Structure 1
Amino acid sequence: MEPRLATSVLVSALVRRAEAEGGFAAVLAKGDSTAGAVLVVLTEKGANPVVYERMLQPSGDYEWASAGPQVCGKAEEVPALIARRRRSDPDLWVLELDIPSTERFAAGMNGFG
């Protein structure tokens, strides 16, 4: 079994990458620093949110997947999704990243692990 990156390190890397690309990053909720799950809300100029979650795959690797297609682009539904997820998993980290190109950023997130 390969060692896994601590969640706090992953979160820090995502925040730094967003800021390096000219975006803004905010940690909305902190979870377990070692093994907490991560939910990322990507927006572009504060609009059209897309929610991704880091999911453990059967292979043992993590991949980012859309966490709520029902909220894609619907900003008013994102807080309810976050609240539901936090109720069932209090160790969940929630990030909001407002970046110039959400599609490009999301495509590169699988490099973070």
Structure 2
Amino acid sequence: MTARLTSQILIGVLLRRVQAQGGHGTVLHKGEPLSGTIVVQAVDRGRTIGLFERVTSLDGTLSFTPCGPRDLTQDSEISQYIDRRTRVDPDIWFVELDVADAERLAAEILCTS
């Protein structure tokens, strides 16, 4: 059995990598440090292009799955989604990444650890 990195460590690595690539990342909601669910809001020049959740399948593999509202042009829809999810699961992490190819970068870090 291999040990997995904690959610808090993965978020830290992700934010440092985004900064190293000239982007900006911020934690919108801090979740449970050890094993909280992680959702990434991928942003390109201030415009949300997707919400992606790190999911563990039954066989233990990690994947990055789209989630959230269909209409990503409405900031209020995104905010309401984040509010609902954090009320139901206060252990969840929400992270916003404004960097080129945010989805690929997040999946590379969050789904290989």
Runs of 4+ in 1 over 6 A off after TM superposition: none
Question: Deviation of residue 76 (structure 1)?
Answer: 2.7
Q: How many residues end up aligned between the 2 structures?
A: 110
CA distance in 1 between partners of 2:56 and 2:28 (Å): 22
Distance 1:42 1:4 in 2: 24
Q: Note the aligned Cα RMSD (angstroms).
A: 1.6
Residue 16 of structure 1 pairs with residue 16 of structure 2: yes
Task: Answer whether contact 2:41 2:48 (CA < 8 A) is retained.
Answer: no
Shift of 1:22: 0.8
Sequence identity percentage: 31
Which structure 1 segments of 5+ residues have no match?
none
Is the 2:31–2:90 Cα contact (8 Å) retained in structure 1?
yes
Q: CA deviation at 1:110?
A: 2.6
Report the TM-score when normalising by structure 2: 0.86
**TM value normalised by structure 1:** 0.86
Which sections of structure 2, spanning at least 5 residues, go unmatched?
Answer: none
Q: CA deviation at 1:106?
A: 1.1
